């Protein structure tokens, strides 16, 4: 990217910020130190990949070029080494000689044949590295084997680099392994894959969306509610998901595609317009405690695949850093900052009020240690697309034993699931419905929302409907409120959940103040602190209604049934 193109990208971001501040959200200007916008450039390194011809040389060339690009702009990066690359003298020499002083080396936790054999375990793969979930990830090994794999890696890393790594990432690291890494080797930060269904043979669904969280000691995918029961290692979510479109990608199927910041994807991370759209949400919009995105790429995609995208993205990050719009730092630095700032997982948000496809769609994500939720506007149509509760007592099925097979599953507790409970023709969601005097109903249609940070952990979304009624949705870390200031005394409304007839719903009872559910043998639910819940006599009509009291609903999300 030349200088004029680089500056036009920055100018566009600044102009977009001004327009959104004037028209779409009300929030005070914040310095990056108050609510920082953090970018980690994380490149993880495999020695070889059986899917790539001439893999060893091409993967090595990729890391060489990644280092050159970061050094050109003097940006810090995090390079995570898989064990087979760790023991390769070529990578050792390259990183020792070319890594700039602000960058770091850490561990990438996919398991390979030399790693397994060094730990005295039998290798089960047909190649020296395979992508099968029960071989490439520690969930496929017993707790004792997981500890051996950690010990072998840490000893080798220290032998080569003179210290233990402080950052270790993977598509997923189980809680036993993560806690062992912290307790024995004092790792500071970790990262795992974005939410996805079926992609690459494993599903992570319903987790803390983007940003970072402290995981439960029983389940590394589940945010903990208490310091006592959390692993004190913040896990940052990787890959920079599209806040509007990633969620529904592949709707109606059993596998999602990818719309992310990864520079190899032509319609997202390789596309300058998409990157600017994505960064507008990360950099300029309300986010509460902080906002975050992971850039970079695994070397298996090769330099030819990622060059165009990376050479476009890196100058933009550099310019935004110089404008004090973002902090570009290592994963360890981000983890250290997180631990200094937060004793428990904070409330955060991702606000997307511009639409890369110009279809009038908007999205607001809210996360806390108790729940996550997503609001989606499709033109004037509005719904809660997602609500998942978090409970540190929900134990992973892989906590104490090795998982089997090529498909692994990590979940939280669904209350509204706009992907799993939908088909292409019928999208599940919690919608605001107007009740007419004759017993009929109609969906309430809305104008553009105004998003406001009321406090460091409180987010308000305000929206007027076509009839002049004003709705406010306020998210607190342990609850959310939906209220209406009606334009007339006879206006009546409810929140109504619909789902596809084929959906496997978790609800056990819906009555009075409580909605009780059970998912994978775990009981949970939500409580109406104000208003009440009502079950439909006809499931084909709706699943349940939330009926306000005096035009207000208050939903407790602490799972305190």
Predicted local confidence at residue 88, as pLDDT: 97
Where the chain has pLDDT below 50, the residues are 1-32
Gap between the Cα atoms of 549 and 561, Å rounded: 20
Alpha-carbon span 213 to 388, nearest angstrom: 15
In angstroms, rounded to a whole number, what is the distance separating the alpha carbons of residues 65 and 408? Answer: 34
End-to-end CA distance of the chain: 56
Q: What is the β-pairing status of strands 78-81 and 104-108?
A: parallel
The per-residue pLDDT for 33 is 53
d(CA 379, CA 394): 37
Q: Which helix (H) or strand (E) holds 317?
A: helix 302-322
Q: Which of 237, 179, 175, 244 lies closest to 205, judged by CA?
A: 237
What does the pLDDT read at residue 257?
81
HSE-CB for 219 with a 13 A CA cutoff: 21
Nearest Cα residue to 207 out of 443, 374, 12, 405: 374
Pairwise CA distance, residues 515 & 526, whole Å: 5
**Which pLDDT score, from 0 to 100, does residue 82 have?**
97
Q: Three-state SS for 459?
A: strand
The contacts of residue 369 (CB under 8 Å, 6+ apart) are 213, 214, 223, 224, 225, 344, 345, 346, 347, 390, 477
**Is 57 exposed, middle or buried, given 0-12, 13-18 or 19+ CB atoms closer than 10 A?**
exposed
pTM of the prediction? 0.92
Tokens 């450039």 appear where? 41
- The answer to whether 192 and 172 have CB atoms below 8 angstroms apart is yes
Q: Which two tokens stand for residue 231?
A: 């692993």
Helices (H) and strands (E) in the chain, counts: 11, 32
Cβ atoms of 134 and 401 closer than 8 Å: no
CA–CA separation, 275 and 320 (whole Å): 13
**In angstroms, rounded to a whole number, what is the distance separating the alpha carbons of residues 303 and 313?**
14
Question: Residue written as tokens 């598509």?
Answer: 171
Q: What is the pLDDT of residue 18?
A: 36
Residue 534, Cβ neighbours under 10 Å: how many? 16
Residue carrying the six token digits 């509610």: 225
The pLDDT of residue 561: 66
In this structure, are strands 450-455 and 458-464 parallel, antiparallel, or unpaired? antiparallel
DSSP state, residue 520: T
Structure tokens at 356: 């890369």
* Full DSSP string of 25-81: EE-----TTTS-EEEEEEEEE-S--TTSTTHHHHHHHHHHHHHHHHHHHT---EEEE
């Amino acid at each position: 990217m030349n200088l004029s193109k680089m500056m036009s990208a920055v100018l566009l971001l600044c102009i977009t910020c001004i327009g959104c501040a004037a028209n779409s959200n009300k929030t005070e200007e914040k310095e990056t130190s108050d609510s920082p916008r953090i970018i980690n450039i994380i490149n993880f390194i495999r020695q070889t990949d059986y899917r790539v011809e001439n893999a060893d040389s091409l993967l090595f060339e990729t890391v060489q070029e990644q280092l050159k690009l970061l050094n050109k702009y003097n940006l810090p990066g995090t390079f995570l080494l898989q064990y087979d690359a760790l023991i390769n003298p070529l990578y050792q020499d390259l990183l020792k000689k070319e890594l700039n002083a602000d960058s770091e080396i850490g561990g990438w936790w996919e398991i390979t044949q030399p790693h397994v054999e060094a730990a005295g375990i039998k290798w089960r793969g047909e190649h020296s590295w395979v992508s099968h979930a029960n071989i490439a990830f520690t969930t496929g090994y017993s707790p004792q084997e997981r500890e051996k794999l950690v010990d072998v890696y840490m000893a080798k890393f220290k032998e080569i680099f003179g210290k233990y790594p402080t950052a270790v990432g993977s598509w997923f690291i189980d809680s036993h392994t993560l806690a062992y890494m912290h307790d024995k080797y004092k790792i500071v930060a970790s990262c795992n894959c974005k939410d996805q269904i079926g992609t690459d043979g494993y599903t992570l669904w319903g987790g803390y969306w983007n940003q970072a969280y402290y995981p439960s000691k029983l389940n590394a995918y589940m945010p903990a509610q208490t310091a006592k029961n959390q692993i004190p290692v913040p896990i940052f979510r990787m890959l920079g998901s599209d806040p509007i479109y990633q969620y529904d990608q592949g709707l109606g199927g059993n596998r999602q595609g990818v719309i992310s910041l990864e520079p190899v994807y032509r319609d997202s991370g390789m596309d300058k317009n998409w990157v600017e759209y994505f960064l507008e949400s990360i950099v300029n919009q309300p986010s509460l405690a902080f906002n975050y995105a992971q850039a970079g790429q695994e070397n298996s995609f090769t330099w030819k695949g990622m060059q165009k995208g990376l050479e476009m993205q890196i100058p933009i990050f550099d310019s935004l850093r110089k404008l004090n719009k973002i902090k570009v730092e290592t994963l360890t630095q981000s983890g250290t900052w997180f631990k200094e700032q937060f004793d428990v997982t904070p409330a955060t948000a991702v606000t997307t009020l511009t639409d890369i496809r110009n279809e009038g769609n908007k999205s607001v994500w809210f996360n806390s240690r108790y729940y996550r939720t997503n609001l989606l506007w499709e033109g004037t149509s509005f719904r809660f697309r997602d609500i998942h509760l978090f409970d540190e007592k929900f134990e992973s099925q892989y906590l104490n034993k090795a998982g089997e097979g090529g498909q692994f599953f990590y979940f939280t507790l669904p209350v509204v699931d706009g992907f799993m409970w939908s088909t292409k023709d019928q999208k599940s969601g919690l919608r605001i419905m107007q009740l007419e005097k004759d017993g009929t109903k109609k969906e309430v249609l809305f104008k553009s929302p105004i998003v406001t940070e009321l406090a460091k952990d409180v987010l308000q979304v305000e929206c007027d409907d076509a009839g002049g009624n004003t709705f406010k949705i306020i998210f607190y870390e342990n609850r959310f409120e939906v209220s209406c200031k009606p334009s007339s005394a006879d206006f009546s409304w409810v929140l109504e959940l619909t789902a596809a007839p084929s959906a496997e719903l978790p609800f056990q009872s819906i009555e009075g103040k409580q909605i009780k559910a059970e998912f994978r043998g775990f009981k949970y639910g939500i409580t109406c602190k104000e208003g009440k819940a009502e079950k439909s006599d006809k499931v084909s009509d709706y699943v349940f209604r939330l009926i306000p009291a005096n035009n207000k609903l208050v939903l407790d999300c602490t799972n305190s049934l």
